[in-house]
Amino acid sequence: MQALLRFRLSSSSARSTLTQGRWNCGPRPIPIPTVSSRYATTSAALSKKLDLLALDKKWQEKWQSDTLRLSSKAVSAAAAEKAAKLTGEKPRSYILSMFPYPSGTLHMGHLRVYTISDVLARFYRMRGHEVIHPMGWDAFGLPAENAAIERGIDPAEWTKHNISRMKEQLRSISTSFDWDRELATCDPEFYEHTQRIFLMLYEKGLAYQAEALVNYDPVDKTVLANEQVDANGFSWRSGAKVEKLNLKQWFFRITAFKEMLLKDLDSLAGGWPERVLSMQRNWMGKSQGANIKFPVTVNGETGTGIDVGVFTTRPDTLYGVEYIALSLDHPLVLKSAETDPDLRKFLDNAASLPADSKAGYRLSDLTVSHPLRIIDKESPLVARQLPVFAAPYVLSDYGEGAVMGVPGHDSRDLAFFRDNVNPDSIPIVVEPRKDEANSESAGVVSSADAKAFTQEGYLNAMCWKYQGLHSSEAKKQIVADLKQVGRGDFVEQWRLRDWLISRQRYWGAPIPIIHCGDCGPVPVPADQLPVKLPKIEGDWLKGKKGNPLESSHEWVNTKCPSCGGPAKRDTDTMDTFVDSSWYFLRYLDPANKELPFSPSSARPVDVYIGGVEHAILHLLYARFIYKALSQTELFPEIARNGNLATPFEPFKTLLSQGMVHGRTYSDPSTGRFLLPSEMDLSTPDKPLIKGTQVTPAVSFEKMSKSKHNGVDPTGCALKYGADTTRAHVLFSAPVSEVLDWDETKIVGIERWFSRLWKLVADAQHTLATSPMALDRAALQASSGHATGLPSSLQELSDSDADAVLATHRTICYVTKCIEKNPYGLNTVISDLTKLTNSLLASTPTSPQVLYLSISSLLRLLAPIAPALASECWEILNSSVTAGNATETEAGADTSTSPPALLDSPWPTPLLTLEEADILSARGGQIVAVQVNGKLRFTVTIPRRLSPTTTTEGSGTVTEEQDWIISRVLETDEGRVWLREKNDWEKRRRVIVVKGGKLINVVF
């Protein structure tokens, strides 16, 4: 910290010229109602009211022209310079928000996520980091294609138009993205590399084509990944009932990385929300179990040599098996259907039943015998033949497409059993307690009372020699015994399936494979990439059904790259999740023509910000691609062969923000959602329904067209200013929680900004008439503060000491919060509001302290409200640097203005631990103590110590009150009145009021 303070004669004429000049240069205010300061200022130059919209316009234009000036150099030169910079000494931060789909409209969820990422990016820049904060567009996908089909618009044009609109909207909320890294996944320059990555995976056997029973969306006419079908069998996008079809499709072999994907989640603990980690774990669904073989009896004939293999995690319940259920495409079911027309009919209908359907069809020709029968010749339970069903609830790709039905110990099996078998009783073979298991009477319950006991427990008398064993032990023994006779073995099972990436749509990256009659599938050679989408001519896509690429004959028919003979292009395009699984790596090297990115640029994202709705699929796919690419030449040797103990993960920290809910009005009598035009909001606290003047029901719900509760963030920015909107969205809820957007409360932020404006105006006046002056070099100092504290802390006035302490504490809290716990960004707003209020209530008398406090406050505010803070910064500094301006007035314009706020260093703590303690303790605090309502004594206790000496920062109000009470009890008067004359331990209530100035103790 350097203190460059010198005295000079006031040069007021130069100062006022500068000040007025600045105002004259400013834009004309936009004629929309604005926030105005209700406080008169004494300075003539600053009698101007606070016009936040004008500030937005002025500063947004300035930032944009600065960016343009910077990027007017050749792109390659800029990139080279940046690359050189990035290898320098500065710490680096890659701050990334999930990129949007270019729908054309920014919504409140966008405002929330981009405000958070912008605050982090600006914070780290001011901390001296080289920050990468890019933005791009997840631009392939169905809405563009649907627009083309409905209206005959070229999807590329539609997308381009939407991108330019949204880019403008992003600027209007004062975001600071690196636009020179911008990308759109639908640009051939981008998808060329998506295709390159596909081919890299293909060469390694990680991309393959296979016939599969797939989910087909009959409305969007495309195949969907399992993940895109909801629990009830509906498409996540169109909402259509999904059909099952057998088709040849492209897959990525994500299962090859399953162990790594699961294990490496442990390394993300602390950086990722625990909730997201467990969602990832559950999705992969690793479980330990057994494969058990049930011998099949066909038409009463045993010894057929046919088995049904079943996967189960509960072999301990094997004595409770009552039936076997097979998936609809199980070979035995298909075989039976050849001779059973009723079964065929059932299969046709069942394909459209929901996944949790209880429907079943009993195969008339098949039964199975119990696998334990070879070993256990005594138990009646295993001597029976068991029925076999075809059932839609059995997934063909889980286990072997077969389930052993144990109604006593599985709720779903019980429901199925009741519907399809309906017996009198249900066997219970596992008991919760050991004594019950050892009783000889255990076993069967009546079907009507039965409830599945799904926990582990102890095997009962139904279980032959296994009686009395705990489930965990019984599993081992039973499977070991089955293994001996060739009827079972231990296996591990995963829920994760390979990733189906084929889509039969136009608007996606074409799969770069050519199919030749002689050579089979042949990769498109690297020099023929990208395989571009055929150009849309006129209304070519209008009204088109099915896969448009199939009917683009000129495009489909091509030459085989291998033999030169006639061949056809693959007509599938890739799932858009493929684009988003690697885009964050492209930002690091966006102009690279040869490679997706250069090995030297590859690195993980430091902070990734996005909605919790992407907690599974997008993150899982991106982790997979990152791991797959890390084993290729795209990643530097050091990362691959370096420390193998460090897992290769793309996102070090994940900030997963909650949704934004909108204020929703409905008619209390009918429940009908009301349009904004039906509401009388002239008294914001008391909304009424127009006409009837009835008070509506008010709630906060997910924003949707049907509820008429959507809010346009750019509209808010135009009404209240971008800074106010940003601060309000941050303040309204902790990052991870649902945010109820309540516009009526934005006035709180407006009032705060007005107070801040007055604080700065008053300070400018004070500083301008003080002998304080700062050298511009000091302002451009690379760290800390432009001026130091007065030399003796003991000689500070009370108001100066208060200001120094309050500023110091706020610097510590805000820095710690943004750096260590960005989930608490809402508390940064309250801390800054508190500091503003305390500086207004007790304004520092020393110009140095005044400057230090306010210049710190403005820098802490800069990431949140960049335009207002920049303006205030300019005003504040004009009052202390004006003298310098006169010396260089004839020179370049830039040399006369103070350095831009956003290029200024983040404020460092003002005090050491000891200094903070000295300041906190000095003076003391007077406390009046009442006992049962009567004033008994007043004592002086030390001021509360600086929070830097406590472990928990500011602590809570209760903590502070406890601290005050403890100090009072330590005084002589406290001991006499609260311990001797009264029994402190028998106190009924202790009330601390006026911030600790008065305590009332009731005995």
Using CB under 5 A as the criterion, which residues of the chain lie in contact with Zn ion when the complex forms?
A: 516, 518-519, 560, 562-563
> Using CB atoms within 10 A of its CB, is residue 486 exposed (0-12), middle (13-18) or buried (19+)?
exposed
Answer whether 454's CB lies under 8 Å from 244's CB: no
Q: Which is nearer to Zn ion, 520 or 995 (CB)?
A: 520
Q: Which is nearer to Zn ion, 517 or 676 (CB)?
A: 517
State yes or no: cis peptide before 530, omega within 30 of 0: yes
Q: How far is the CB of 562 from Zn ion (least distance, A)?
A: 4
Q: Which is nearer to Zn ion, 344 or 568 (CB)?
A: 568
Q: How far is the CB of 525 from Zn ion (least distance, A)?
A: 13
Distance (Å, whole) CA 546 – CA 404: 40
DSSP 8-state class, residue 406: -
Q: How far is the CB of 556 from Zn ion (least distance, A)?
A: 15
Q: How far is the CB of 528 from Zn ion (least distance, A)?
A: 15
Give CA separation, 843 vs 151, 762, 763, 797, in Å: 64, 10, 9, 11
Q: Which is nearer to Zn ion, 564 or 933 (CB)?
A: 564
- Closest by CA to 752, choosing from 694, 829, 677, 817, is 829
Q: Which is nearer to Zn ion, 334 or 519 (CB)?
A: 519
Q: Which is nearer to Zn ion, 517 or 771 (CB)?
A: 517
Q: Which is nearer to Zn ion, 199 or 767 (CB)?
A: 199
Q: Given CA atoms 753, 759, 762, 764 in this order, what sign does their dihedral have?
A: negative
Q: Which is nearer to Zn ion, 380 or 564 (CB)?
A: 564
Q: How far is the CB of 561 from Zn ion (least distance, A)?
A: 8
State the angle between helix axes of 52-71 and 722-731 in degrees (0 to 180), rounded to the nearest 10.
100
Q: How far is the CB of 209 from Zn ion (least distance, A)?
A: 16
- Long-range Cβ pairs for the range 672-679 (8 Å, 24+): 673/706, 673/707, 673/708, 673/709, 674/708, 675/708, 676/708
Q: Which is nearer to Zn ion, 210 or 563 (CB)?
A: 563
β-bridge mates for residue 7, sequence order: 772
10 Å Cβ neighbour count for 255?
16
Q: How far is the CB of 513 from Zn ion (least distance, A)?
A: 12
Q: How far is the CB of 552 from Zn ion (least distance, A)?
A: 21
Q: How far is the CB of 223 from Zn ion (least distance, A)?
A: 27
Those residues with Cβ within 8 angstroms of residue 893's Cβ, 6 or more apart along the chain or in another chain: none
Answer whether 244's CB lies under 8 Å from 214's CB: yes
Q: How far is the CB of 531 from Zn ion (least distance, A)?
A: 17
β-bridge mates for residue 361, sequence order: 390
Q: 672 by DSSP, 3-state: which? A: coil
DSSP per residue over 932-1000, as a string? TTEEEEEEEEPPPPPGGGSTTTT--HHHHHHHHHHHHHHSHHHIIIIIISS-GGG--EEEEEGGGTEEE
Those residues with Cβ within 8 angstroms of residue 691's Cβ, 6 or more apart along the chain or in another chain: none
Answer whether 429's CB lies under 8 Å from 319's CB: yes
> Using CB atoms within 10 A of its CB, is residue 534 exposed (0-12), middle (13-18) or buried (19+)?
middle
Q: Which is nearer to Zn ion, 219 or 563 (CB)?
A: 563
Q: How far is the CB of 191 from Zn ion (least distance, A)?
A: 25
Distance (Å, whole) CA 833 – CA 814: 12
What type of residue sits at position 239? G
Q: How far is the CB of 247 from Zn ion (least distance, A)?
A: 24
The length of the chain in residues reads 1003
Q: Which is nearer to Zn ion, 331 or 517 (CB)?
A: 517
Q: Given CA atoms 909, 910, 914, 920 in this order, what sign does their dihedral have?
A: negative
Q: Which is nearer to Zn ion, 515 or 544 (CB)?
A: 515
Q: Which is nearer to Zn ion, 309 or 561 (CB)?
A: 561
Token pair of 238, please? 């169109």
Q: How far is the CB of 199 from Zn ion (least distance, A)?
A: 17
